[in-house]
Amino acid sequence: MITKTVDAILDHALAGYDISEAEGILLLQQKDADIIDAIRSTADELRHRQVGDTVTYVINRNINFTNICEQHCSFCAFRRDEGETGAYWLDLNQILEKTTDAVQRGATEICMQGGLNPKAKLNGTSLDYYLNIIKGIKNAFPELHLHAFSPQEVQFIAREDGLTYAEVIAALQDGGVDSMPGTAAEVLDNEIRRVICPEKIDSATWLEIIGVAHKLGLPTTSTMLSGHIETPEQQIKHFSLLRKLQQTAKEKGFIGFTEFILLPFVGQEAPKPLRRRVGRDQPVLSDALLLTAVARIFLGNWIINHQPSWVKLGLAGATTALTWGCNDIGGTLMEEHITTMAGAQGGTCMEVSTLQAAISSLGRNYQQRDTVYGSIMSKAEDSWAID
Protein backbone atom coordinates (compact mmCIF):
# COMPACT_ATOMS: atom_id res chain seq x y z
CA MET A 1 0.00 0.00 0.00
CA ILE A 2 2.79 2.37 1.00
CA THR A 3 4.73 1.32 -2.11
CA LYS A 4 1.80 2.32 -4.30
CA THR A 5 1.49 5.64 -2.55
CA VAL A 6 5.19 6.32 -2.93
CA ASP A 7 5.01 5.27 -6.58
CA ALA A 8 2.19 7.75 -7.16
CA ILE A 9 4.15 10.55 -5.48
CA LEU A 10 7.22 9.80 -7.56
CA ASP A 11 5.16 9.63 -10.78
CA HIS A 12 3.59 12.96 -9.89
CA ALA A 13 7.05 14.50 -9.39
CA LEU A 14 8.30 12.98 -12.66
CA ALA A 15 5.31 14.53 -14.43
CA GLY A 16 6.70 17.92 -13.36
CA TYR A 17 4.50 18.72 -10.37
CA ASP A 18 5.57 19.96 -6.94
CA ILE A 19 4.96 17.42 -4.22
CA SER A 20 3.09 18.41 -1.05
CA GLU A 21 4.52 18.61 2.47
CA ALA A 22 2.65 15.41 3.46
CA GLU A 23 4.10 13.62 0.43
CA GLY A 24 7.61 14.82 1.25
CA ILE A 25 7.28 13.56 4.82
CA LEU A 26 6.12 10.17 3.55
CA LEU A 27 9.18 9.92 1.31
CA LEU A 28 11.49 10.69 4.24
CA GLN A 29 9.85 7.99 6.36
CA GLN A 30 10.71 5.16 3.96
CA LYS A 31 12.98 2.36 5.19
CA ASP A 32 12.70 -0.30 2.48
CA ALA A 33 15.83 -0.43 0.30
CA ASP A 34 13.89 -0.86 -2.97
CA ILE A 35 11.62 2.10 -2.21
CA ILE A 36 14.59 4.24 -1.22
CA ASP A 37 16.29 3.31 -4.49
CA ALA A 38 13.15 4.40 -6.37
CA ILE A 39 13.33 7.75 -4.56
CA ARG A 40 17.02 8.02 -5.46
CA SER A 41 16.43 7.25 -9.11
CA THR A 42 13.54 9.74 -9.30
CA ALA A 43 15.77 12.45 -7.84
CA ASP A 44 18.55 11.53 -10.27
CA GLU A 45 16.16 11.66 -13.23
CA LEU A 46 14.76 15.03 -12.11
CA ARG A 47 18.31 16.36 -11.75
CA HIS A 48 18.99 15.17 -15.32
CA ARG A 49 15.85 16.88 -16.68
CA GLN A 50 16.12 20.08 -14.64
CA VAL A 51 19.80 20.86 -14.96
CA GLY A 52 21.48 18.22 -17.12
CA ASP A 53 24.29 15.74 -16.50
CA THR A 54 27.31 18.04 -16.23
CA VAL A 55 28.60 18.47 -12.70
CA THR A 56 29.87 21.92 -11.82
CA TYR A 57 32.42 23.22 -9.32
CA VAL A 58 33.71 26.62 -8.27
CA ILE A 59 37.26 27.69 -7.46
CA ASN A 60 36.83 29.62 -4.25
CA ARG A 61 38.42 30.41 -0.93
CA ASN A 62 36.77 30.51 2.43
CA ILE A 63 37.90 33.27 4.73
CA ASN A 64 36.48 33.13 8.25
CA PHE A 65 37.87 36.44 9.46
CA THR A 66 37.24 35.87 13.19
CA ASN A 67 36.00 33.15 15.49
CA ILE A 68 35.28 35.59 18.32
CA CYS A 69 31.51 35.45 18.67
CA GLU A 70 28.95 36.75 21.13
CA GLN A 71 26.66 33.76 20.55
CA HIS A 72 26.84 30.19 21.83
CA CYS A 73 25.18 27.89 19.30
CA SER A 74 25.06 24.39 20.72
CA PHE A 75 26.49 22.79 17.55
CA CYS A 76 29.41 25.22 17.20
CA ALA A 77 32.99 24.20 17.95
CA PHE A 78 34.36 27.22 16.07
CA ARG A 79 33.44 30.14 18.34
CA ARG A 80 35.71 31.56 21.04
CA ASP A 81 35.50 34.34 23.57
CA GLU A 82 37.98 37.14 23.16
CA GLY A 83 41.25 36.20 24.86
CA GLU A 84 40.40 32.50 24.95
CA THR A 85 42.96 30.02 23.61
CA GLY A 86 42.51 29.69 19.87
CA ALA A 87 40.63 32.99 19.44
CA TYR A 88 41.68 34.93 16.35
CA TRP A 89 40.72 38.04 14.44
CA LEU A 90 42.32 38.65 11.04
CA ASP A 91 43.22 42.19 10.06
CA LEU A 92 42.76 43.52 6.55
CA ASN A 93 46.36 42.77 5.56
CA GLN A 94 45.97 39.13 6.55
CA ILE A 95 42.68 38.93 4.65
CA LEU A 96 44.33 40.47 1.58
CA GLU A 97 47.24 38.01 1.81
CA LYS A 98 44.80 35.10 1.75
CA THR A 99 42.85 36.72 -1.09
CA THR A 100 46.01 37.27 -3.15
CA ASP A 101 46.99 33.64 -2.66
CA ALA A 102 43.47 32.57 -3.71
CA VAL A 103 43.59 34.66 -6.88
CA GLN A 104 47.00 33.23 -7.76
CA ARG A 105 45.43 29.78 -7.43
CA GLY A 106 42.62 30.66 -9.83
CA ALA A 107 39.84 31.58 -7.41
CA THR A 108 36.85 33.45 -8.82
CA GLU A 109 35.10 33.75 -5.45
CA ILE A 110 35.89 34.68 -1.87
CA CYS A 111 33.36 33.28 0.58
CA MET A 112 33.54 35.27 3.77
CA GLN A 113 31.74 34.81 7.07
CA GLY A 114 32.81 35.19 10.67
CA GLY A 115 31.80 35.25 14.30
CA LEU A 116 29.72 38.11 15.69
CA ASN A 117 32.38 40.23 17.34
CA PRO A 118 30.95 43.23 19.22
CA LYS A 119 34.38 44.90 19.03
CA ALA A 120 33.92 45.22 15.27
CA LYS A 121 32.60 48.71 15.91
CA LEU A 122 35.49 49.93 18.05
CA ASN A 123 36.75 52.29 15.35
CA GLY A 124 33.43 53.46 13.93
CA THR A 125 30.23 51.59 13.18
CA SER A 126 29.93 47.84 12.67
CA LEU A 127 28.98 48.52 9.08
CA ASP A 128 32.23 50.49 8.64
CA TYR A 129 34.20 47.45 9.78
CA TYR A 130 32.50 45.13 7.27
CA LEU A 131 32.68 47.69 4.45
CA ASN A 132 36.38 48.23 5.11
CA ILE A 133 37.04 44.52 4.48
CA ILE A 134 34.88 44.41 1.36
CA LYS A 135 36.32 47.56 -0.15
CA GLY A 136 39.87 46.44 0.64
CA ILE A 137 39.32 43.22 -1.31
CA LYS A 138 37.39 44.85 -4.15
CA ASN A 139 39.94 47.63 -4.61
CA ALA A 140 42.69 45.04 -5.01
CA PHE A 141 40.67 42.48 -6.98
CA PRO A 142 37.59 44.10 -8.57
CA GLU A 143 36.85 41.00 -10.65
CA LEU A 144 36.47 38.70 -7.65
CA HIS A 145 32.95 37.64 -6.65
CA LEU A 146 32.35 38.35 -2.96
CA HIS A 147 29.96 35.83 -1.45
CA ALA A 148 29.75 37.28 2.00
CA PHE A 149 27.93 37.72 5.30
CA SER A 150 25.00 35.60 6.36
CA PRO A 151 21.55 36.86 7.39
CA GLN A 152 22.74 36.54 11.00
CA GLU A 153 25.63 38.91 10.29
CA VAL A 154 23.24 41.31 8.56
CA GLN A 155 21.00 41.32 11.64
CA PHE A 156 24.09 41.82 13.88
CA ILE A 157 25.19 44.90 11.91
CA ALA A 158 21.64 46.27 11.81
CA ARG A 159 21.22 45.83 15.58
CA GLU A 160 24.61 47.28 16.47
CA ASP A 161 24.18 50.33 14.24
CA GLY A 162 20.41 50.91 14.49
CA LEU A 163 19.85 50.32 10.77
CA THR A 164 17.19 48.44 8.83
CA TYR A 165 18.06 45.18 7.10
CA ALA A 166 17.54 46.86 3.73
CA GLU A 167 19.96 49.65 4.67
CA VAL A 168 22.63 47.16 5.70
CA ILE A 169 22.21 44.94 2.63
CA ALA A 170 22.15 47.88 0.22
CA ALA A 171 25.34 49.27 1.79
CA LEU A 172 27.07 45.88 1.56
CA GLN A 173 25.99 45.62 -2.08
CA ASP A 174 27.26 49.10 -2.84
CA GLY A 175 30.52 48.21 -1.13
CA GLY A 176 31.02 45.18 -3.37
CA VAL A 177 29.17 42.16 -1.95
CA ASP A 178 27.86 40.16 -4.93
CA SER A 179 25.85 37.45 -3.19
CA MET A 180 24.88 36.30 0.29
CA PRO A 181 25.46 32.88 1.88
CA GLY A 182 22.14 31.41 3.04
CA THR A 183 23.73 30.05 6.18
CA ALA A 184 22.36 30.50 9.71
CA ALA A 185 19.17 28.89 8.41
CA GLU A 186 19.96 25.69 10.38
CA VAL A 187 16.40 24.34 10.54
CA LEU A 188 13.72 26.98 10.01
CA ASP A 189 11.70 25.94 13.03
CA ASN A 190 11.79 28.00 16.21
CA GLU A 191 11.36 24.96 18.48
CA ILE A 192 14.60 23.53 17.05
CA ARG A 193 16.33 26.91 17.04
CA ARG A 194 15.61 27.38 20.77
CA VAL A 195 17.74 24.27 21.39
CA ILE A 196 20.53 24.50 18.82
CA CYS A 197 20.94 28.28 18.36
CA PRO A 198 18.86 30.12 20.98
CA GLU A 199 20.55 33.49 20.42
CA LYS A 200 20.30 33.41 16.65
CA ILE A 201 17.69 35.18 14.56
CA ASP A 202 14.41 33.30 14.50
CA SER A 203 12.98 31.59 11.46
CA ALA A 204 10.82 34.56 10.38
CA THR A 205 13.78 36.96 10.61
CA TRP A 206 15.98 34.67 8.49
CA LEU A 207 13.24 34.55 5.85
CA GLU A 208 12.70 38.31 6.07
CA ILE A 209 16.39 39.15 5.58
CA ILE A 210 16.76 36.72 2.68
CA GLY A 211 13.56 38.14 1.13
CA VAL A 212 14.97 41.68 1.41
CA ALA A 213 18.23 40.55 -0.23
CA HIS A 214 16.31 38.96 -3.12
CA LYS A 215 14.22 42.10 -3.59
CA LEU A 216 17.37 44.21 -3.70
CA GLY A 217 18.66 41.94 -6.47
CA LEU A 218 21.22 40.17 -4.28
CA PRO A 219 21.19 36.42 -4.96
CA THR A 220 21.60 34.06 -2.01
CA THR A 221 22.20 30.40 -1.45
CA SER A 222 19.96 28.24 0.73
CA THR A 223 21.10 25.67 3.29
CA MET A 224 19.85 23.28 5.94
CA LEU A 225 21.76 21.88 8.93
CA SER A 226 20.41 18.33 9.10
CA GLY A 227 20.81 15.17 11.13
CA HIS A 228 20.62 16.37 14.72
CA ILE A 229 17.33 16.66 16.64
CA GLU A 230 14.98 17.64 13.84
CA THR A 231 12.09 15.47 12.61
CA PRO A 232 11.08 14.69 9.01
CA GLU A 233 8.13 17.07 9.52
CA GLN A 234 10.51 19.90 10.44
CA GLN A 235 12.83 19.07 7.53
CA ILE A 236 9.96 19.28 5.06
CA LYS A 237 8.62 22.46 6.65
CA HIS A 238 12.07 23.95 6.07
CA PHE A 239 11.99 22.91 2.40
CA SER A 240 8.49 24.30 2.07
CA LEU A 241 9.52 27.71 3.45
CA LEU A 242 12.45 27.83 1.02
CA ARG A 243 10.21 26.87 -1.89
CA LYS A 244 7.64 29.57 -1.04
CA LEU A 245 10.33 32.23 -0.74
CA GLN A 246 11.82 31.20 -4.07
CA GLN A 247 8.39 31.28 -5.72
CA THR A 248 8.01 34.86 -4.48
CA ALA A 249 11.45 35.82 -5.83
CA LYS A 250 10.74 34.24 -9.22
CA GLU A 251 7.30 35.89 -9.49
CA LYS A 252 9.05 39.23 -9.10
CA GLY A 253 11.78 38.40 -11.60
CA PHE A 254 14.67 37.97 -9.14
CA ILE A 255 17.29 35.22 -9.14
CA GLY A 256 16.56 34.47 -5.49
CA PHE A 257 18.26 31.28 -4.36
CA THR A 258 21.06 30.09 -6.64
CA GLU A 259 21.39 26.69 -4.98
CA PHE A 260 20.47 24.45 -2.09
CA ILE A 261 23.25 22.98 0.08
CA LEU A 262 22.59 20.25 2.62
CA LEU A 263 24.89 20.52 5.64
CA PRO A 264 24.74 17.33 7.74
CA PHE A 265 25.63 17.89 11.41
CA VAL A 266 29.16 16.97 12.54
CA GLY A 267 29.20 16.67 16.32
CA GLN A 268 32.59 15.27 17.24
CA GLU A 269 33.91 18.45 18.84
CA ALA A 270 30.56 20.17 19.35
CA PRO A 271 29.59 21.25 22.87
CA LYS A 272 28.67 18.16 24.90
CA PRO A 273 24.94 18.63 25.59
CA LEU A 274 23.87 18.56 21.92
CA ARG A 275 26.51 15.97 21.05
CA ARG A 276 25.18 13.67 23.78
CA ARG A 277 21.58 14.25 22.70
CA VAL A 278 22.34 13.43 19.06
CA GLY A 279 24.43 10.45 20.12
CA ARG A 280 26.96 10.27 17.28
CA ASP A 281 29.92 12.21 15.99
CA GLN A 282 29.71 11.96 12.21
CA PRO A 283 26.76 12.24 9.80
CA VAL A 284 24.85 9.10 8.82
CA LEU A 285 25.45 8.96 5.08
CA SER A 286 22.26 7.04 4.27
CA ASP A 287 20.13 9.66 6.08
CA ALA A 288 21.91 12.50 4.29
CA LEU A 289 21.46 10.81 0.90
CA LEU A 290 17.72 10.23 1.36
CA LEU A 291 17.29 13.85 2.42
CA THR A 292 19.38 14.94 -0.59
CA ALA A 293 17.04 13.04 -2.91
CA VAL A 294 13.88 14.40 -1.27
CA ALA A 295 15.33 17.93 -1.46
CA ARG A 296 15.71 17.52 -5.23
CA ILE A 297 12.18 16.15 -5.59
CA PHE A 298 10.64 18.84 -3.35
CA LEU A 299 12.64 21.87 -4.48
CA GLY A 300 13.98 21.07 -7.93
CA ASN A 301 11.30 22.88 -9.94
CA TRP A 302 12.29 26.09 -8.16
CA ILE A 303 15.90 25.69 -7.08
CA ILE A 304 17.69 23.70 -9.76
CA ASN A 305 21.20 23.57 -8.33
CA HIS A 306 21.84 21.19 -5.45
CA GLN A 307 25.20 20.76 -3.74
CA PRO A 308 26.41 18.23 -1.17
CA SER A 309 29.07 19.21 1.39
CA TRP A 310 32.34 17.33 0.89
CA VAL A 311 33.59 18.90 4.13
CA LYS A 312 30.80 17.18 6.07
CA LEU A 313 30.37 13.94 4.09
CA GLY A 314 33.91 13.44 2.81
CA LEU A 315 34.61 13.48 -0.92
CA ALA A 316 33.38 9.91 -1.39
CA GLY A 317 30.07 10.72 0.30
CA ALA A 318 29.66 13.94 -1.68
CA THR A 319 30.44 12.10 -4.91
CA THR A 320 27.77 9.54 -4.08
CA ALA A 321 25.32 12.41 -3.48
CA LEU A 322 25.79 13.37 -7.15
CA THR A 323 23.73 10.26 -7.96
CA TRP A 324 21.03 11.25 -5.44
CA GLY A 325 19.96 14.52 -7.05
CA CYS A 326 22.98 16.83 -6.78
CA ASN A 327 24.53 18.52 -9.82
CA ASP A 328 27.35 20.50 -8.19
CA ILE A 329 30.32 19.36 -6.09
CA GLY A 330 30.93 22.76 -4.47
CA GLY A 331 34.17 24.65 -4.13
CA THR A 332 37.86 24.14 -3.54
CA LEU A 333 37.50 26.21 -0.32
CA MET A 334 41.31 26.31 0.18
CA GLU A 335 40.71 26.53 3.92
CA GLU A 336 37.82 25.56 6.14
CA HIS A 337 37.63 26.08 9.89
CA ILE A 338 34.03 25.93 11.06
CA THR A 339 33.24 22.29 10.30
CA THR A 340 36.81 21.07 10.63
CA MET A 341 36.91 22.39 14.21
CA ALA A 342 33.70 20.44 14.80
CA GLY A 343 35.58 17.24 13.90
CA ALA A 344 34.70 16.79 10.23
CA GLN A 345 36.98 14.40 8.39
CA GLY A 346 36.39 15.63 4.85
CA GLY A 347 39.44 17.92 4.83
CA THR A 348 39.84 21.64 4.42
CA CYS A 349 40.92 22.06 0.80
CA MET A 350 40.30 20.34 -2.53
CA GLU A 351 42.47 20.61 -5.60
CA VAL A 352 40.54 21.23 -8.81
CA SER A 353 41.98 18.01 -10.25
CA THR A 354 40.65 16.04 -7.26
CA LEU A 355 37.13 17.40 -7.75
CA GLN A 356 37.33 16.72 -11.48
CA ALA A 357 38.52 13.15 -10.90
CA ALA A 358 35.66 12.52 -8.45
CA ILE A 359 33.13 13.73 -11.03
CA SER A 360 34.75 11.75 -13.83
CA SER A 361 34.59 8.58 -11.72
CA LEU A 362 30.80 8.71 -12.26
CA GLY A 363 31.16 9.00 -16.04
CA ARG A 364 29.83 12.58 -15.94
CA ASN A 365 31.31 15.74 -17.47
CA TYR A 366 32.61 18.54 -15.31
CA GLN A 367 32.48 22.28 -15.77
CA GLN A 368 33.95 25.17 -13.80
CA ARG A 369 31.27 27.72 -12.87
CA ASP A 370 31.10 31.09 -11.20
CA THR A 371 29.24 31.67 -7.94
CA VAL A 372 25.86 32.24 -9.60
CA TYR A 373 26.22 29.24 -11.93
CA GLY A 374 27.51 30.96 -15.03
CA SER A 375 29.96 28.77 -16.96
CA ILE A 376 33.63 29.62 -16.89
CA MET A 377 35.47 28.35 -19.92
CA SER A 378 39.11 29.11 -19.31
CA LYS A 379 42.57 27.87 -20.07
CA ALA A 380 43.04 24.17 -19.60
CA GLU A 381 40.02 23.92 -17.35
CA ASP A 382 37.51 23.83 -20.18
CA SER A 383 34.62 21.44 -19.96
CA TRP A 384 35.77 17.89 -20.30
CA ALA A 385 33.52 15.72 -22.41
CA ILE A 386 33.10 12.02 -22.11
CA ASP A 387 33.15 10.27 -25.47
CA distances from 163 to 167, 170, 183 (A): 6, 11, 21
By CB under 6 A, name the one of 40, 47, 61, 79 that touches ligand SF4.
79
Residue 116 binds ligand SF4 (CB under 6 A): yes
The nearest distance, CB 221 to ligand SF4, in angstroms, is 16
Instruction: Let me know if 149 is exposed, middle or buried by CB neighbors in 10 A (0-12, 13-18, 19+).
Output: buried
By CB under 6 A, name the one of 28, 59, 69, 110 that touches ligand SF4.
69
Instruction: Let me know if 281 is exposed, middle or buried by CB neighbors in 10 A (0-12, 13-18, 19+).
Output: middle
**Candidates 46-54, 67-75, 323-331, 378-386 — which segment interacts with ligand SF4 by CB under 6 A?**
67-75
Residue 265 binds ligand SF4 (CB under 6 A): no
Q: Which is nearer to ligand SF4, 225 or 262 (CB)?
A: 225
Residue 280 binds ligand SF4 (CB under 6 A): no
Residue 148 binds ligand SF4 (CB under 6 A): no
Residue 193 binds ligand SF4 (CB under 6 A): no
- Which residue type does 311 have? V
The nearest distance, CB 66 to ligand SF4, in angstroms, is 9
Residue 49 binds ligand SF4 (CB under 6 A): no
The nearest distance, CB 245 to ligand SF4, in angstroms, is 22
User: Are the beta carbons of 111 and 147 closer than 8 angstroms?
Assistant: yes
* Rounded Cα–Cα distance for residues 99 and 63 (Å): 8
Q: Collapsing DSSP states into helix, strand and coil, what is residue 161?
A: helix
User: Are the beta carbons of 78 and 337 closer than 8 angstroms?
Assistant: yes
Residue 115 binds ligand SF4 (CB under 6 A): yes
CA distances from 357 to 222, 250, 319, 360, 383 (A): 27, 35, 10, 5, 13
Number of shown-chain residues binding ligand SF4 (CB under 6 A): 11
* Rounded Cα–Cα distance for residues 309 and 261 (Å): 7
Residue 206 binds ligand SF4 (CB under 6 A): no
By CB under 6 A, name the one of 19, 39, 46, 76 that touches ligand SF4.
76
Residue 102 binds ligand SF4 (CB under 6 A): no
User: Are the beta carbons of 179 and 219 closer than 8 angstroms?
Assistant: yes
- Which residue type does 37 have? D
Return the number of other C-beta atoms located less than 10 Å from residue 304's C-beta. Answer: 20
Residue 78 binds ligand SF4 (CB under 6 A): yes
Length of the chain as a residue count: 387
Q: Which is nearer to ligand SF4, 69 or 134 (CB)?
A: 69
Residue 73 binds ligand SF4 (CB under 6 A): yes
Positions touching ligand SF4 (CB under 6 A) are 69, 71-73, 76, 78-79, 115-116, 152, 197
